[in-house]
């Protein structure tokens, strides 16, 4: 079958990006002919991509071929020619692009972006002779597919950020989503929650929606002993060809100076002085050091942006009575603020913390008594770890916290952690609540893997971590085995793609 996937961004760094990548890989592995349209700048990093190039109104460019195709099918990646402007839902840095949020686009910028994608998709589908077209997000994917291909000829995947950061706040995106979704063959989402939010905003599409759970790369995300997991991840990092692109350790001194001068602009500027796409140069050394830690280890993996609530995890770790070591894996423009928070907690600097909570809009305020009695062991940051390294980092954790304050479609990181045998602790809202309920149902322990969001959530996270870390080791092992087996059985990418094709 010839399957075309339209995804507007990269193949790592967000749930929708990982979804597009894994879907394309599994389809090619099953023998399908896949055409993947996205803005990935490094297709050579993915051995399942056979060839790549660009595409515009006149069709594809000459293709660059991968040395040795690794799948029985075929996957070609084409980058639509859209110029330098890349619209996003939540602001972050992207290599080679000028980035603006969708809500900040002028009418002319939006029209041009849509037109260039429509022309590229139309030309690509004609060249590929696509039999199935899957477009990502209610906007822009749905309307791009509709204008390029006509009604009834494509399926749409809903991921959630488009709903909350474009469609809900602005009428123009509701109108575009309505145009694209009402003409779709089917509209799929990872949870009933994300589909309910979609149909609330775009009435009249209820007969089109279907729930299709996302998957986990269960061959990579699997239980491992902590020391082995961390040492293997460190060894892979040391093989990286250019680790110096990432955040230098000396930048912590600049964070300390910026914090001492209460300089918010300097903290923001520091995040733009290094390549967010790369691991920290010292990440391998830090993972090796953690491999020698004997006590509990809690962690966070994901974007370092305000919407993910990472500061709640940091302050909760400070409050934990089990004094765990903490690992933060991820990248984003909020990294220096989070580093400053960690430093201020470690030094017990109440004035600096008050400034961070006020100037940075951070949640999770602590009292002076909390500072005096809390865990001051600090945080281990690694920068971005992609799927070559992330499975080891996850498998090493005892508890994975997902403190997101935005409505999530599902919570793929929590599912990956569960596959790796990590006990998750996730906010009980949106698609995250559905994920935690399924895992809790599997082990017959309601509420064990979730916490109530809202004011004072950091205290409930601390209590949840302590609850999980206090379980007898045999009981924890039984829980790990139960949730890991459940994910491997129910949420594999093979199962996801099979279900998706059935629905389409």
pLDDT tens for the chain, 504 residues long, are 999 999 999 998 788 999 999 999 999 999 999 999 999 999 998 999 999 999 999 999 999 998 766 678 999 999 999 999 999 998 877 888 999 999 999 999 999 999 999 999 999 999 999 999 999 999 999 999 999 999 999 999 999 999 999 999 999 999 999 999 999 999 999 999 999 999 999 999 999 999 999 999 999 999 999 999 999 999 999 987 566 789 999 999 999 999 999 999 999 999 999 988 899 999 999 999 999 998 999 999 999 999 999 999 999 999 999 999 999 999 999 999 999 999 999 999 999 999 999 999 999 999 989 998 888 777 999 999 988 999 999 999 999 999 999 999 999 999 999 999 999 999 999 999 999 999 999 999 999 999 999 999 999 999 999 999 999 999 999 999 999 999 999 999 999 999 999 999
- Phi, psi for 359 (deg, rounded to 5): -70, -35
Residue 288 parent element (H or E): helix 283-291
Residues with Cβ within 8 Å of 5's Cβ and at least 6 positions away in sequence, in order, are: 20, 23, 24, 34, 35, 36, 37, 38, 133, 134, 136
Q: Is 112 part of any domain?
A: yes
Asked if 267 and 325 touch (Cβ cutoff 8 Å), the reply is no
Nearest alpha-carbon partner for 92 in 264, 280, 308, 282: 308
- Phi, psi for 367 (deg, rounded to 5): -90, 170
The whole-number pLDDT of residue 377 equals: 73
Examine the domain organization and report whether 45 and 133 are in the same domain: yes
250/1 Cα distance (integer angstroms)? 52
Asked if 10 and 40 touch (Cβ cutoff 8 Å), the reply is yes
The whole-number pLDDT of residue 90 equals: 86
Q: Is 334 part of any domain?
A: yes
Examine the domain organization and report whether 306 and 170 are in the same domain: no
Examine the domain organization and report whether 447 and 416 are in the same domain: yes
Give the Cβ contact number of residue 21 at 10 Å. 26
Examine the domain organization and report whether 232 and 203 are in the same domain: no
Asked if 317 and 346 touch (Cβ cutoff 8 Å), the reply is no
74/121 Cα distance (integer angstroms)? 19
Asked if 406 and 352 touch (Cβ cutoff 8 Å), the reply is no
Q: Is 496 part of any domain?
A: no
Angle, alpha carbons 159-164-167 (nearest 5°): 95
Examine the domain organization and report whether 265 and 207 are in the same domain: no
Examine the domain organization and report whether 74 and 148 are in the same domain: yes
187/299 Cα distance (integer angstroms)? 34
Examine the domain organization and report whether 203 and 233 are in the same domain: no
Asked if 410 and 190 touch (Cβ cutoff 8 Å), the reply is yes
Residue 58 CB-density burial (10 A; 0-12 exposed, 13-18 middle, 19+ buried): exposed
The token pair that represents 369 in the structure block: 């008594």
The whole-number pLDDT of residue 415 equals: 97
372/349 Cα distance (integer angstroms)? 10
Nearest alpha-carbon partner for 400 in 347, 326, 342, 456: 326
The token pair that represents 122 in the structure block: 């139309």
> Could you give the number of structural domains in the chain?
2
Last residue of a domain, one of 211, 237, 253: 211
Examine the domain organization and report whether 252 and 154 are in the same domain: no
17/234 Cα distance (integer angstroms)? 25
CATH of the domain at 71: 3.40.50.2000
Q: Is 396 part of any domain?
A: yes
β pairing state of 399-402 and 297-301: parallel
Last residue of a domain, one of 162, 183, 211: 211
Examine the domain organization and report whether 255 and 309 are in the same domain: yes
Examine the domain organization and report whether 280 and 422 are in the same domain: yes
Give the Cβ contact number of residue 64 at 10 Å. 12
Q: Is 79 part of any domain?
A: yes
Examine the domain organization and report whether 198 and 306 are in the same domain: no
57/38 Cα distance (integer angstroms)? 15
217/131 Cα distance (integer angstroms)? 26
The whole-number pLDDT of residue 13 equals: 79
Q: Is 504 part of any domain?
A: no
Examine the domain organization and report whether 131 and 156 are in the same domain: yes
The residue range of the domain holding 230 is: 226-490
Q: Is 207 part of any domain?
A: yes
Last residue of a domain, one of 149, 184, 211: 211
pTM above 0.85, yes or no: yes
The whole-number pLDDT of residue 69 equals: 64
Q: Is 219 part of any domain?
A: no
């Amino acid at each position: 079958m010839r399957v075309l996937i339209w995804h507007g961004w990269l193949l790592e760094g967000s749930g929708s990006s990982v979804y597009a990548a894994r879907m394309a890989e599994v389809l090619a592995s099953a023998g399908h002919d896949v055409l993947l349209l996205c803005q990935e700048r490094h297709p050579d990093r993915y051995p399942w991509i056979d060839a790549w190039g660009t595409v515009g109104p006149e069709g594809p460019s000459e293709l660059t071929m991968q040395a040795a195709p690794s799948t029985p099918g075929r996957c070609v990646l084409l980058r639509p020619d859209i110029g330098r402007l890349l619209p996003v839902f939540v602001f972050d840095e992207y290599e080679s692009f000028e980035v603006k949020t969708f809500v900040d686009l002028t009418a002319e910028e939006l029209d041009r972006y849509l037109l260039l994608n429509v022309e590229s998709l139309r030309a690509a589908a004609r060249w590929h002779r696509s039999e199935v077209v899957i477009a990502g997000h209610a906007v822009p994917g749905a309307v791009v597919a509709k204008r390029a291909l006509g009604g009834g000829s494509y399926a749409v995947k809903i991921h959630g950020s488009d709903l909350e950061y474009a469609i809900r706040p602005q009428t123009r995106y509701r109108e575009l989503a309505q145009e694209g979704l009402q003409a779709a063959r089917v509209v799929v989402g990872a949870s009933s929650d994300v589909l309910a939010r979609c149909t609330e905003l775009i009435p009249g599409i209820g007969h089109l929606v279907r729930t299709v759970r996302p998957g986990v790369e269960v061959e990579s995300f699997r239980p491992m002993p902590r020391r082995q997991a961390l040492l293997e991840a460190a060894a892979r990092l040391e093989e990286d060809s250019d680790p110096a692109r990432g955040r230098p350790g000396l930048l912590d001194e600049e964070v300390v100076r910026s914090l001492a001068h209460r300089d918010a602009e300097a903290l923001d500027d520091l995040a733009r002085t290094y390549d967010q796409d790369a691991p920290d140069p010292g990440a391998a050394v830090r993972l090796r050091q953690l491999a020698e830690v004997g006590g509990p280890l809690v962690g966070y993996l994901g974007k370092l942006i305000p919407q993910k609530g990472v500061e709640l995890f940091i302050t909760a770790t400070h409050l934990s009575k089990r004094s765990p070591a903490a690992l933060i894996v991820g990248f984003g423009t909020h990294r220096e603020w989070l580093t400053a928070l960690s430093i201020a907690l470690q030094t017990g600097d109440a004035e600096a913390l008050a400034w961070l909570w006020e100037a940075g809009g951070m949640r999770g305020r602590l009292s002076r008594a909390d500072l005096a009695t809390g865990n001051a062991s600090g945080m281990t940051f690694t920068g971005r770890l992609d799927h070559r390294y992330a499975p080891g980092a996850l498998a090493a954790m005892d508890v994975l916290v997902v403190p997101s304050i935005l409505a999530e479609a599902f919570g793929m990181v929590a599912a990956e952690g569960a596959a790796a045998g990590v006990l998750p602790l996730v906010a009980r809202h949106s698609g995250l609540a559905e994920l935690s309920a399924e895992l809790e149902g599997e082990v017959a322990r309601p509420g064990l893997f979730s916490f109530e969001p809202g004011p004072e959530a950091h205290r409930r996270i601390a209590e949840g971590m302590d609850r999980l870390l206090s379980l007898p080791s045999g009981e924890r092992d039984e829980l790990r085995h139960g949730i890991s087996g459940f994910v491997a059985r129910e949420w594999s990418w093979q199962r996801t793609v099979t279900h998706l094709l059935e629905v389409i």
